[in-house]
Amino acid sequence: MLERWNRALEQVEDRLDRQVDVAELARIAATSEHHCRRVFSALAGMPFSEYLRRRRLTVAGAGVLAGQRTLLDVAVRYDYGSGEAFARAFRSPHGVGPGEARRTGAALRSQQRISFRLTVEGSNDMRYRIVHREAFHVVGKKARVPLVHEGLNPGIVEHVRGIGADELRRITELSDQEPAGIIAATDGLAEGRAEGSELDHYHGVVRGSAGPADLDSLAVPAGTWAVFEASGEFPHALQHLWRDVFTQWFPSNPYRSRPGPEILRTSAPAEGAHGEAELWVPVEPA
C-alpha cells in the first residue's frame, strides 16, 4: 500500500508545473478519490490541495532565486494567471514578494517532499464493528461551524447551548433506532479537513423518517458503517480516535471511507472528564 501512495506522490512531483488530477493519483494508490483525499490529510497533517500549493511555491521560489526566467514566466509555469496573483501567493509562505526575494536573495521557506514509510505502531488494538444500515434520517438542530482539531469547538458549544431543555427533550423522544439518544453528526466537510474550514453540525437523533418541519433533517442513504468505541479524557480521546481511524485502522483493514456524515454518540462529559464515545464512520470495501 505505501509503495502505491509513494508512486502517487512521485506523480505529483512530475506535474508541479502542470495540472494534477487527483482521480489519477487515487487510481495509482488503488483507492477512491474521496478516500485518497481523506487519508492524505490524516497522514500528512494537511489537505492535499495545501501540500500541492506549498510544493509549487517551493520550487517556484527556487526558480525566482535562480534568475534565469522572468517573474511572469515563473508565475505562468506554476499555474498562476498573473504576476499579481503569483506575488500574493508567494508572499504567504515566504514572507516576501518574488521581486524582493530575487533582489535581496531572501531566505525562503521550503515544503519538503512527503513520502510515507512504515513505522512500528498499532500496539494498542482498536474496538470496532461493521454495521450495514438501511436509509435513515438525522433530525435535530443544524449549525455551520468551523473545524477545530484540538480542544473544544466553541462553535459547537455555542450551538448546543442554544438548544433549550424542552426542545432537547422533544428531539430526544424522536430517536427510534441505533445509535440511540442524542448524537452529533458532521456533514459537508471541506476537502482535507483543514483547521478552520466549515462543516454542518447536527445535534439531534437518528430515526427512520424525517422529523417535524421545524427541525433540520438530513437524509442518509443506505450503506455500511464502521463503528468505533473510545474512552478517556474528553475531547482529546475522541480527536485521537478520529486520527487513529485514518492513520492506523484504514491502512490495516480492507475498507476505505466514502461520502456521508460521521455520527458520534457520547456520554457528554465536561472538558477534561472521563467519558465514553461511539464513532460511526461511513465505509465501503476497498
Degrees (nearest 5) of the Cα angle 259, 278, 160? 85
Angle, CA 192 vertex, CA 150 and CA 53 arms, to 5°: 110
Cβ atoms < 10 Å from Cβ of 19: 7
* 165 in the same domain as 211: yes
pTM higher than 0.85: no
Q: Is 184 part of any domain?
A: yes
Distance in angstroms (rounded) separating the CA atoms of residues 12 and 18: 9
Q: Is 138 helix (H, G, I), strand (E, B) or coil?
A: strand
Same-domain pairing of 181 and 96: no
CB atoms within 10 A of CB 272: 10
Q: pLDDT of the chain along its 286 residues, tens only?
A: 678 888 999 999 998 988 899 999 999 988 899 888 888 887 787 888 889 999 999 999 888 988 888 999 999 998 888 888 999 999 988 989 999 989 888 888 888 888 877 554 544 567 889 999 999 999 999 999 887 766 677 888 889 899 999 999 999 999 999 999 999 998 987 666 666 678 889 999 999 999 899 999 999 999 999 999 888 777 677 777 877 888 778 877 888 989 899 999 987 555 667 778 899 999 998 8
136 belongs to a structural domain? yes
Q: How many domains are contained in the chain? A: 2
Task: Tell me if 142 is assigned to some domain.
Answer: yes
pLDDT of res. 268: 57
* 116 is a domain residue: no
Report the distance separating Cα 78 and Cα 143, nearest Å. 38
Whether 137 and 270 map to the same domain: the answer is: yes
Q: How far is CA 223 from the centre of its chain?
A: 20
Identify the pLDDT of residue 266.
Answer: 85
| Residue 150 shares a structural domain with residue 19 | no
* Residue closest to 39 by CA, chosen among 255, 250, 189, 280: 250
Are both 216 and 78 inside the same structural domain?
no
- CATH number, domain with residue 133: 3.20.80.10
Give the up-direction half-sphere exposure of residue 83: CA atoms within 13 A in the CB hemisphere.
8
Which CATH number goes with the domain that contains 30? 1.10.10.60
Residue 200: which of 260, 266, 257 has the closest Cα?
260
Same domain, 178 and 217: yes
Spell out the residues 6+ positions from residue 178 whose beta carbon is closer than 8 angstroms to its own: 131, 206
Residue 111 maps to a domain? no
List Cβ neighbours of 212 (8 Å cut-off, separation of 6 or more). none
Domain that residue 75 falls in? 2-104
Domain annotation covers residue 50: yes
Please check whether residues 74 and 206 belong to one and the same domain: no
Q: Give domain status of residue 112, yes or no.
A: no
173 and 68 fall within a common domain: no
Q: Give the three-state DSSP class for 19.
A: coil
Are 67 and 133 within one domain? no
The x, y and z cell numbers of residue 177, run together, are 433506532
